[in-house]
Structure 1
Amino acid sequence: MTTAAMSQAMRADLSPAPDIGIAVRPWEKVSYGIGDFACGLSWNAVGAFLLYFYTNVALLPAAAVGTLFLLSRLFDAGIDLGVGIMVDRTRTRWGRTRPYFLFTAIPFSILLVLTFTTIDGSTGAKLAYAYVTFTLLGILYSFLAVPFSALMPMMTRDHGTRMQLGSARAIGTSVSVILATAATMPLVILLGGGNERLGFALVALIFAGLTLAALLNLFFSCRERHYDEAPAGGAIMPHVGAMFRNRAWLVTFLFCTLNFLRFGCVISVTAFFAIEVMRAPWMIGILLPAVSGTLLLSAFIAPFIFKRTGIRSGCMIALMLAIILHLILPWIEAQHSLFLALFVVAAILVSLTMTAIFTMAADAVDYHEWVFGTRNEGLLSSGISLSTKIGMAVGTAIIAYVLAVCGYDPKAVTEGARAAIRWSYYGWPIGIMIVQIGIIAFWPMDGLHDRIRRDIAARAA
């Protein structure tokens, strides 16, 4: 698109259309999925390799890196909620969410490159630089992730269409995970020519360009059709209190936090597990993409499964089967082919529950309107974005602290360190999935969608 065409499109009146009869166009669904690719590519690269980059390339102490991840993401707690409130109070000719994609795209892409760049100097100077760049990247991510999650319930009220959008989002996530996890290290080696410091910077530059293009496409292609007609302003705390009394939102928040806690643990420890425990570095390129890359398959089968089982029962069954497979994996480590086959099946089962989260987050907005009379898409979505950050941060910090406690030294790895890595690879995911089963049992929306839509329509009439 030329500069003149972009300017003309931006000047056009693209305000939200409240007509409930307007269907979501096929390209909008694709663009929504590409939007998640934009958000996920950078964040999956950060989740999968930033711990490795900080400890093995920037040569920062593992314990200090764990604290960095934890403090930076806890700081985001207030940022995400603030962005959610801003989205609810935003009124522009482009809508409530779309301006954030336009104005955040360039600075976010720049910060991604800076985050995977280290400076010369003392450990303290390099750690300070890491704190600044990683924290700023997280803040800008809030200005993308929160509006992006708030966009889906504004695009459509139809549950079936939301499942399709959730599947499109899962595909975007899957592609971003596959690219971020499977291609990063080969590209680092290829582009860096043996210099990992240079290689990571160049790969981050490529990922930043892809992210920028995908975010601009999201801005120009997707529309907002349904939103809270209440004027901006008013007290904030009553809305926050109502959010925590929204059972559907609370279940989604806790379930999503645990999901990304597991995700953060797994992708952070996988490289160490493949190299030090399995003694097969080549498995990194299979294990990491399988952790969430299986979303590509689950995106197609999830709508059919959850249509028959409901989200609550479907997620509980999938997690139970995944736990059984994870209990088998330690006993077949020597059989690489069988290990990988069972791991991929377990990853598919877990990916089904991750696909469900996207729909749950949108359904929680309808549940909120049904119970409290307001939608508050931005505020509710900020909580879900916060859950992903908290989960990823705590999961990554846990692995960093485990490495520090067991005395991990990349130049001289002890058997005790290998045992700690092995336990972390299996133990944390199993324990977390058990708790997830207890959380999803309280999901209230199965079977209520038609009633909620009728009640909201009757109230509006």
Structure 2
Amino acid sequence: MVNKQNTYLSFGEKVAYAAGDVAVNFFFKFFQFFLFYYYTDSVGLSAGVVGSIFLVSRLLDMVTDPAMGAIADRTRSRWGSYRPYLLFIAIPYGICGYLMFLNPQLSMEGKLIYAFITYSLMMLAFTAINIPYASLSGVMTPFSSERTALSGYRFVGAFSGGLLLTLLIRPLVKVLGVEDEAEGFRLTMALFAVISILLFWVTFFFCKERIKPAPQQKSTIRNDFSSLLKNRPWQLLTLSYIVHGMYFTIHGAVTLHFFKYWIGDDSTAILGPFDLSTLFLATSLLFSIIGASLTKFFCAYIDKRMLVILAALVNCIIMVAFYFIKDSNLPLLFVLQAINGIAVGFIPVLQWSMYADTADYGEYKYQHRNTGVIFSAALFGLKLGLAIGGALAGWVLAAFGFIGNIEQDAQSKLGILLCFSLIPALLALIKIFIMVFYPLRDKTMEKIELALIERKGELHAPSQ
């Protein structure tokens, strides 16, 4: 029988795992909240071109993401299958992140090419380190409830990293760049790159892999993707996460534009180093930390699938409310952002825990475990949602006549408002519809866990 006590995770190991997502979100949250603004208002690229960069660069991920998952699944080392990548890819990850913000003095065509190449390289490094990082959660413990707790710690780290980035990015850009915003971004992101490297190493040194595929499993690429394509829970979960990525990105991409062109965000004299857009984004992330922290508690009473549906419903209602509030009631805008932040905090905790459930389901149903491929495809879905959301924001703003750093007319302001409110509301509604059909319930997972433990017997962790 399995020694269950050895498969429950210590507080220290959970915190060490969360450190990795702090590192991830120093860049990922920048991509969601600031990168669109950086390319349009600091570099000077057009909104439509930026949207196209985001989408076209994702074509490479169609190959690299599943390939990375398959490679990680087949890696055998003294540290396990997934941890080595946290050690060796951390430095390239930091360097690629820094290169995105060099902003060399090139022609507009040269800046476009440079942006596309460096963004694509960063996404490649992001794939190489984040797929093993995400997959690690699926092999640290065999219990779904414990993975949910681990996922809670992870996203407290993720939202904390995003909160730190959001609070510090604008003040640091102003202080380090003085009058040169692009130079401020370069120096600020160099600092975050160094911190990210160190945090990934914390995860490497203090986390362990405990779950291995069954010895008799035949790990071929064909088997990996055959079992994946038959895994209906994974398919629905990935589709819902693509939509969630679109929702979160299109709203986040235009938040700075909303405050700059709708609210008139020139309030630094009152708010010190922070402007309203910074505080608005920070409000969401602060309350997302609360939501992520509470997820484990609510899971004791409500099925994970239903919690996702309820959270998405809150997202939908609040996005509709934003459309009608506009700039008429700033305090109410912040209150609703806080409530929305709590709901946003639930979703990634639940869904990444559910991805590990789909890996268990695939092993139970088809006698084939492909944790890395499961999580690589999940990450591709999230990045695809990020890309489509960013592309939609760019294309909608371009269609409504938006041009950065000028006074916006009523039509271009309407485009910003739609991306900030009603379009995300529609996407949240679509997510609810998808999750209604998700078949795995918590009670089902309890039965699957016990069946897999009995089938595989004792679990063996790597020696170091």
Q: TM-score range by the shorter chain?
A: over 0.9
Structure 1 equivalent of residue 270 of structure 2: none
SS of aligned partner of 1:280: coil
One of 249, 252, 263 as aligned partner of 1:264: 249
**Structural RMSD (CA):** 1.8
C-alpha separation in 1, matches of 2:226 and 2:217: 18
Whether contact under 8 Å (1:294, 1:344) holds in the other structure is: yes
C-alpha separation in 1, matches of 2:284 and 2:218: 42
One of 431, 440, 449 as aligned partner of 2:435: 440
Structure 1 equivalent of residue 142 of structure 2: 157
SS of aligned partner of 2:78: coil
Is residue 403 of structure 1 aligned with residue 420 of structure 2? no
- The residue type paired with residue 288 of structure 1 is L
- The residue type paired with residue 119 of structure 2 is F
Structure 2 equivalent of residue 223 of structure 1: 208
One of 417, 442, 457 as aligned partner of 1:422: 417
SS of aligned partner of 1:38: helix
- The residue type paired with residue 159 of structure 2 is S
Superposed displacement of residue 416, structure 1: 0.9
- The residue type paired with residue 97 of structure 2 is L
Structure 2: tracts of 5 or more residues without a match = 267-274, 458-464
Q: TM-score, normalised by structure 1?
A: 0.92
Is residue 331 of structure 1 aligned with residue 318 of structure 2? no
* Greater alpha carbon shift after TM alignment, 424-433 vs 41-50: 41-50
Is residue 454 of structure 1 aligned with residue 450 of structure 2? yes
C-alpha separation in 2, matches of 1:33 and 1:444: 29
| CA 1:298–1:64: 2 relative to 1, 3 Å | same
* Greater alpha carbon shift after TM alignment, 384-393 vs 355-364: 355-364
| CA 1:365–1:232: 2 relative to 1, 3 Å | closer
* Greater alpha carbon shift after TM alignment, 134-143 vs 367-376: 367-376
- The residue type paired with residue 149 of structure 1 is A
C-alpha separation in 1, matches of 2:234 and 2:336: 33
Structure 2 equivalent of residue 40 of structure 1: 25
- The residue type paired with residue 425 of structure 1 is F
Whether contact under 8 Å (2:251, 2:424) holds in the other structure is: yes
Structure 1 equivalent of residue 386 of structure 2: 392
C-alpha separation in 2, matches of 1:403 and 1:185: 23
SS of aligned partner of 1:85: helix
Whether contact under 8 Å (1:37, 1:175) holds in the other structure is: yes
Structure 1 equivalent of residue 68 of structure 2: 83
C-alpha separation in 1, matches of 2:328 and 2:219: 62
C-alpha separation in 2, matches of 1:311 and 1:441: 12
Is residue 51 of structure 1 aligned with residue 36 of structure 2? yes
Structure 2 equivalent of residue 25 of structure 1: 10
| CA 1:231–1:284: 2 relative to 1, 3 Å | farther
Whether contact under 8 Å (1:48, 1:268) holds in the other structure is: yes
Is residue 310 of structure 1 aligned with residue 299 of structure 2? no
- The residue type paired with residue 417 of structure 1 is S
Q: List per-residue Cα deviations over 1:257-285 (Å, max 9, x = no partner).
A: 11111111111010001111122353211
| CA 1:183–1:160: 2 relative to 1, 3 Å | same
Q: List per-residue Cα deviations over 1:415-447 (Å, max 9, x = no partner).
A: 210011011111121111111111111222211
Superposed displacement of residue 292, structure 1: 4.2
Q: List per-residue Cα deviations over 1:199-249 (Å, max 9, x = no partner).
A: 001111111011011011111110000021447975312321211221221
Structure 2 equivalent of residue 321 of structure 1: 314
SS of aligned partner of 2:301: helix
C-alpha separation in 2, matches of 1:321 and 1:459: 41
SS of aligned partner of 1:183: helix
Superposed displacement of residue 111, structure 1: 1.0
Structure 1 equivalent of residue 261 of structure 2: 276
Structure 2 equivalent of residue 367 of structure 1: 361
- The residue type paired with residue 343 of structure 1 is Q
Aligned residues: 444
